[in-house]
Structure 1
């Protein structure tokens, strides 16, 4: 797939493609959790389902699209920090949240640390856009 920039065809950024592919994996996971909850009529994992779809599918897909449209932002050190902070924190956060909502209250501190790391990733993304998106 290619995008057009000022009349010339340019390939999508590698950073954008990685983000988009990862987002689809989270979409598949979110759909699977939703189907399992619907089939069992047990909605205990609703918060996990929501986080998978919002932070996994939607956030990663939007970052991938943004980094494809603005490849200079996608190639920055802040984009790399965003990628690693979010993608290391998100699985820990989802597992911790799953364990927490199913009764393991010891996961509270683990969840808090993972959430904080994910938030740092979001801040890196915000800084990246403010610093690297120019007219």
Structure 2
């Protein structure tokens, strides 16, 4: 689980950096919220979760870890793609952005619960 999260976080990092480069080249920073969320929730959060799961394999083997992985990695692309539409002026995508955000939040809460409940010294 830890290695899977670290690998997918590297993909999010590459996407976030490429989006940042694109915005710099075209001198349009409308997609800054998308860029920031991809880097924070994709690269940073998943890298840290992956390291924690790698260091503590007993919590990586739980149903909570699997829930975290899937909720986070389904919700984040949904949220980012729809947020790109929202910040580009298509407000009809707001409910989809919110739905993706709910999935990511549930994933993060699954991670937090897993750590609090199952991490032993």
TM-score of the aligned structures, taking structure 2 as reference length: 0.98
Are 2:25 and 1:44 aligned? Answer: no
User: What is the Cα deviation at residue 20 of structure 1?
Assistant: 0.4
What stretches of structure 2 of length at least 5 have no aligned partner? none
Structure number with the higher helix fraction is 2
Q: 1:118 maps to what in 2?
A: 104
Query: Of residues 64, 72, 79 in structure 1, which corresponds to 2:58?
Result: 72
What stretches of structure 1 of length at least 5 have no aligned partner? 1-14
Within-5 A mapping of 1:36-115: 36-115=22-101
Which has the bigger relative contact order, CA under 8 A and spacing at least 6? 2
User: What is the Cα deviation at residue 69 of structure 1?
Assistant: 0.3
**Which structure's CA Rg is the greater one?**
1
User: What is the Cα deviation at residue 132 of structure 1?
Assistant: 1.1
User: What is the Cα deviation at residue 40 of structure 1?
Assistant: 1.0
The runs of at least 4 consecutive aligned structure 1 residues that moved more than 4 Å come to none
Counterpart secondary structure, 1:119? helix
TM-score of the aligned structures, taking structure 1 as reference length: 0.88
Q: 1:127 maps to what in 2?
A: 113
Aligned residues: 121
Structure number with the higher strand fraction is 1
Q: 1:17 maps to what in 2?
A: 3
